[in-house]
Chain A
Amino acid sequence: MSFPWANEYKPTNPLMQWVDDRLPLPRFVYNAVGAGYPVPRNLNYMWNFGILAGFALVLQIVTGVVLAMHYAANAGVAFDSVEHIMRDVNWGWMLRYGHANGASMFFIVVYTHIFRGFFYSSYKAPREMIWLLGVVIFLLMMATAFMGYVLPWGQMSFWGAKVITGLFSAIPLVGTPLQQWLLGGFAPDNAALNRFFSLHFLLPFVILGVIILHVWALHIPGSSNPTGVEVKQESDTVPFHPYYTAKDGFGLGIFLMVYCALVFFAPNLLGHPDNYIPANPLSTPAHIVPEWYFWPFYAILRAFTSDFLFIPAKLMGVLAMFSAILVWFFLPWLDTSPVRSGHYRPLFRKFFYLLVVDVLVLGYCGGAPAAEPYVMISQIAAMYYFLHFLVILPVVSSIETPQPLPFSITEAVLGKDEHATLAPATPAVA
């Protein structure tokens, strides 16, 4: 589905015509990310991050498939095979650093993409399904990243695997058997390492599949935009290509500069030195923390230190950590304001920035040792996190008076609809 004024695919090359008649794949691409997809003319740089996330996934798949040609998923040699990649394999150091920092870049980009969604309420009707699929993608990303971090079989890998599978042992009755089933043993060992490798290879392709659904769902209503006003007329849109391929290309350049700076000048900045010590099942590192992108959720896990409502502290922490993401599934129905964009919602906007600060505080506490004052700060921040989604958002939606919206996207950009000129690639409307 698209707007009636969308450009139609008309191949001039006879070969492309021949292919299109038999398999309309060129048409499909043209309508999805080409000149056949009309996009609001007022998108800002926050709208770059979907494409950047897609690029990061491709980057991870390419470097990952190549690394898998040299890596050995066996507890006896896994650590050594990673060192072999670093020291002996041609360009191995670059591929591994590229893959490890690529994961961080992927999360930076996806977190920005998610918070773009929070600010502009991109999850509201008719775009709920895009949002729900996005949360599924994020959950899959977390599982994939966690299993990838286990593969080098260093101290952080081993104890990360032990602690995270230990979360499942908090479930009443079936917890411990479930943990042993997940690990294939009583502690992380060869069985666990092998299955993590298998799933770490598989899941990115599952993510790719869900991304296709995510983009498919996006193309039903079309992209949202910074005003939150729906597209009304042809002058509100420009074709995706060349307008947004160019804008996304600029963003991609910035992305690659940051990425290369990390890979070539600070490849271990976001890692932990402990993971260069081979896994030792008899000694826990003094300070185990997950990778930075899990810190906010790790802080919520650790915020529960005593039993609460007859639920043991351990189970409570696990439930809270998973709920912190599951609550996003309910976002389209918790925020009932008819206005989408934070630009026109003065009260909502203040609470949005408070949430950003809150998540940053949680992230800092999640990376800090489990001691005071960090425990108390995480408790307050975790409480505020849930308060934001479950109480503040519905209340703000009902009491807030939004500012007046522009009549159309064109008016928001040019002041008046009559000033609009149409993109030269499209024929003018009579």
Chain B
Amino acid sequence: MTGEGVRRRDFINIAAVSFAGVGGLAALYPLISQMAPSADVLAESSTEIDISAIAPGQAIKAVWRKQPVFIRNLTPEEISAAEKVDVSTLRDPETLEKRTTAGKTNWLITMGVCTHLGCVPLGAGEGEVKGEFGGYFCPCHGSVYDTAARIRKGPAPKNLEVPPHEFSSDTVVKIG
């Protein structure tokens, strides 16, 4: 071949290799996608919890998507401690109002999953250490959260995540 002109064979060659390449790439898709969460894992997407027995100052651990959720009934002191903080000084600036449902500011519902590397922070159970800001304390790498579960100290980058939730009634909350 002297390099001038395109032969029929060159076209067939490129077409055949491209077609095989597209086919090969298409076959990769299911191989990669099979590793993503399966339908039954995704189906466990909401849970209803009775919160009538949680007194102010108490918290419970619930389970949603196989992960712990902290449901905490804040005392008026804890609410005012959270509201006193200048939001602009925070690492992940959010107000308590933004993190709770209007009219139910005392119900702080967050994931019990530290935003650093996923440990369960202490502070929800009876007698557990709450850390120097009175919220939660992660024993793994020392992240400290305040009474609105906002990150105040340590390596975690974000506040404890607030999962999507709504109050079905005054005593039942639906998460997810």
Chain A positions near chain B (C-beta within 8 angstroms): 159, 162-163, 165-167, 169, 180-187, 189, 191, 195, 281-284, 286-288, 302, 304-306, 312-315, 317, 370-371
Least CB distance, B143 to chain A, in whole angstroms: 10
How distant is the Cα of A287 from the Cα of B139 in the complex, in angstroms? 7
A184-B155 contact in complex given A189-B66, A282-B68, A287-B139, C-beta closer than 8 Å: no
Q: How far is the CA of A67 from the CA of B138 in the complex (A)?
A: 36
- Chain B: interface size category: 20 to 34
Give B contacts to A, CB under 8 Å.
35-38, 41, 61, 63, 65-68, 112, 116-120, 138-142, 154-157
Q: Are A187 and B66 in contact (CB under 8 A)?
A: yes
Scoring A162, A183, A315 by chain B CB atoms within 10 A of each residue's CB, the highest score goes to A162
25 sample A-B contacts, Cβ–Cβ < 8 Å, listed by A number: A162-B117, A162-B119, A180-B37, A181-B35, A184-B36, A184-B37, A184-B41, A185-B66, A186-B66, A187-B65, A187-B66, A189-B41, A189-B66, A191-B37, A195-B35, A282-B61, A282-B63, A288-B119, A302-B155, A305-B142, A306-B155, A313-B157, A314-B157, A370-B140, A371-B142
A163, A304, A313, A371: the one contacting B119 at CB < 8 Å is A163
Task: Quote the shortest CB–CB distance from B44 to chain A (angstroms).
Answer: 9
Contact between chains at A159 and B119 (CB < 8 Å)? yes
User: How many CB-defined contacts (below 8 Å) exist between A and B?
Assistant: 84
Q: Are B35 and A182 in contact (CB under 8 A)?
A: yes
Whole-angstrom CA separation of A94 from B122 in the bound complex: 38
Question: Do B141 and A302 touch across chains, with their CB atoms under 8 A apart?
Answer: yes
Q: How far is the CA of A281 from the CA of B36 in the complex (A)?
A: 20
Residues of B close to A189: CB separation below 8 A:
41, 66
Q: How far is the CA of A174 from the CA of B117 in the complex (A)?
A: 16
B139 pairs with A284, CB closer than 8 A: yes
Q: Are B36 and A181 interface neighbours, CB within 8 A?
A: yes
Minimum Cβ distance to chain A for residue B171 (Å):
23
Residue in A182, A312, A315, A370 whose CB lies within 8 Å of B141: A370
Contact partner of A166 among B37, B65, B116, B139, CB < 8 A? B116
In the complex, are the beta carbons of B41 and A312 less than 8 A apart? Answer: no
Kindly state the separation between the CA atoms of A317 and B141 in the bound complex, as whole angstroms.
12
- Chain B residue, CB-CB nearest to A372: B142
* Complexed CA–CA distance, A162 and B139 (Å): 15
- Assembled-state Cα–Cα distance A370/B116 (Å): 13
Q: Which residues of A contact B36 (CB under 8 A)?
A: 180-181, 184
Q: Which single residue of chain A is at the shortest CB-CB distance from B155? A: A313
In the bound complex, what is the Cα–Cα distance between A281 and B62 (angstroms)?
Answer: 11
CB–CB B65/A186 < 8 A: yes
CB pair B142 A370 closer than 8 Å: yes
Closest beta carbon of chain B to A134's beta carbon, Å:
29
Rounded to whole angstroms, the CA-CA distance of A315 and B155 in the bound complex is: 10
Q: How far is the CA of A96 from the CA of B41 in the complex (A)?
A: 32
A163–B35 touching, CB < 8 Å: no
A305 touches B155 (CB 8 A): yes
* Shortest CB distance B65–A (Å): 4
CA distance A304 to B155 in the complex (A): 7
Q: Are B119 and A191 in contact (CB under 8 A)?
A: no
Give the chain B neighbours of A288 by CB distance below 8 A.
119, 140
Q: Are A284 and B119 in contact (CB under 8 A)?
A: yes
Q: Which residues of A contact B116 (CB under 8 A)?
A: 166, 314
Query: Lowest 9 A-B CB distances belong to which pairs?
Result: A166-B117, A166-B118, A284-B119, A186-B65, A163-B117, A312-B157, A284-B120, A162-B118, A185-B41
Q: How far is the CA of A159 from the CA of B65 in the complex (A)?
A: 16
Contact at A163–B63, with CB atoms within 8 Å?
A: no
Instruction: Give complex CA distance A162, B113 in Å.
Output: 10
Q: Which chain A residue shows the least CB distance to B154?
A: A305
Q: Is A286's CB under 8 angstroms from B139's CB?
A: yes
Flag if A284 contacts B155 (CB, 8 Å): no
A186–B141 contact, CB under 8 A? no
